[in-house]
């Protein structure tokens, strides 16, 4: 079981910013000795989860099975699917639902709008908790001490000239999300993109997820988000929360 834990720790290192690993990368990222990391990598290669070119290890399509098993069996994703579809149809924009996973948000349900160029993130994608509208809505449900600790321990990376990287700025936006009941990012993560998120609250009053919509700045103004998008997101998030 210890070997399984080590292997999973290595697999979790792969992501949008890490497409390949050397033995040294895996050892450093998973806090293992080089020898232990090498054994794990070779085992993962042998059973088909990684490909090795002599220097780098890369994921194979078989790795998709691990994530797919959640989406195919999750009751939450099944409950969210009709709600995001209804919001997409009403807004003519892609709509998603995401949950918290440590210091990131993971998108577990999504309804895409059909366009030549699509906006937003894919199913299973991960975004920084403190830097995204979705994450700030989820953080707004926590107490102030927990929020401050998480934000101050997060390394924020500037991806546009509007990205907020100072803890006090982030904390102010989270406090605003708690007051407003929604959060907006305006080209903070990607140039030309705006996102709005609202909480999904279950029948016990617990914030379980966040529902969000992303759109190009050329199509949707900030006023559109508040006046036209917010009522739809709130209505569908409320229906999803009642089903939890």
The CATH number of whichever domain residue 128 belongs to comes to 3.30.450.40
Mean pLDDT calculated for residue range 18-46: 92
- In this structure, the answer to whether residues 103 and 217 fall within a common structural domain is yes
pLDDT of 104 over the 60 cut: yes
- In this structure, the answer to whether residues 28 and 50 fall within a common structural domain is yes
Q: What's the confidence (pLDDT) of residue 1?
A: 86
- In total, how many domains does the chain have? 2
- In this structure, the answer to whether residues 46 and 79 fall within a common structural domain is no
- In this structure, the answer to whether residues 126 and 216 fall within a common structural domain is yes
pLDDT in tens, 55-89: 999 998 888 777 666 666 568 888 899 999 999 99
Q: Within a domain: residue 68?
A: no
Q: Within a domain: residue 170?
A: yes
- In this structure, the answer to whether residues 40 and 81 fall within a common structural domain is no
Q: What is the CATH number of the domain that holds 52?
A: 1.10.10.10
pLDDT in tens, 129-140: 898 999 999 999
- The Cα 135–Cα 105 span in angstroms is 6
* C-beta separation of 132 from 195 below 8 A: yes
pLDDT of 119 over the 70 cut: no
Mean pLDDT of the chain: 89
Q: Within a domain: residue 67?
A: no
Query: Which residue segment(s) compose the domain that 43 sits in?
Result: 2-62
Q: Between 170 and 75, whose confidence is greater?
A: 170
- In this structure, the answer to whether residues 52 and 120 fall within a common structural domain is no
- The Cα 14–Cα 154 span in angstroms is 19
- In this structure, the answer to whether residues 39 and 104 fall within a common structural domain is no
- Print burial letters for 106-134: b (CB count within 10 Å at least 16), e (below 16): bbbbbbbbeeeeebbbebebbbbbbbbbb
- In this structure, the answer to whether residues 114 and 143 fall within a common structural domain is yes
- In this structure, the answer to whether residues 210 and 107 fall within a common structural domain is yes
Give this prediction's pTM: 0.74
């Amino acid at each position: 079981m210890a070997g399984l834990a080590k292997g999973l720790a290595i697999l979790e290192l792969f992501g949008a910013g890490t497409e390949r690993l050397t033995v040294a990368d895996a050892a450093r990222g998973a806090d293992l000795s080089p020898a232990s990391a090498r054994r794990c990598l070779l085992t993962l290669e042998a059973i088909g989860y990684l490909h090795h070119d002599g220097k780098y290890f890369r994921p194979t399509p078989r790795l998709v099975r691990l994530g797919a098993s959640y989406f195919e069996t999750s009751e939450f994703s099944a409950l969210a699917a009709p709600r995001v579809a209804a919001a997409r149809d009403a807004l003519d924009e892609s709509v998603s639902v995401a949950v918290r996973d440590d210091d990131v948000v993971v998108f577990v349900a999504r309804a895409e709008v059909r366009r030549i160029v699509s906006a937003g993130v894919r199913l299973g994608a991960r975004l920084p908790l403190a830097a995204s509208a979705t994450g700030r809505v989820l953080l707004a449900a926590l107490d102030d001490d927990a929020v401050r600790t998480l934000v101050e321990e997060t390394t924020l990376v500037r991806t546009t000239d509007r990205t907020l990287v100072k803890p006090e700025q982030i904390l102010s936006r989270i406090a605003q999300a708690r007051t407003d009941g929604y959060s907006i990012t305006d080209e903070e993560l990607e140039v030309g993109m705006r996102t709005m998120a609202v909480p999904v609250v279950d029948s016990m009053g617990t914030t379980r997820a966040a529902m969000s919509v992303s759109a190009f700045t050329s199509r949707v103004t900030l006023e559109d988000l508040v006046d036209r998008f917010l009522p739809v997101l709130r209505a569908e998030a409320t229906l999803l929360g009642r089903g939890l």
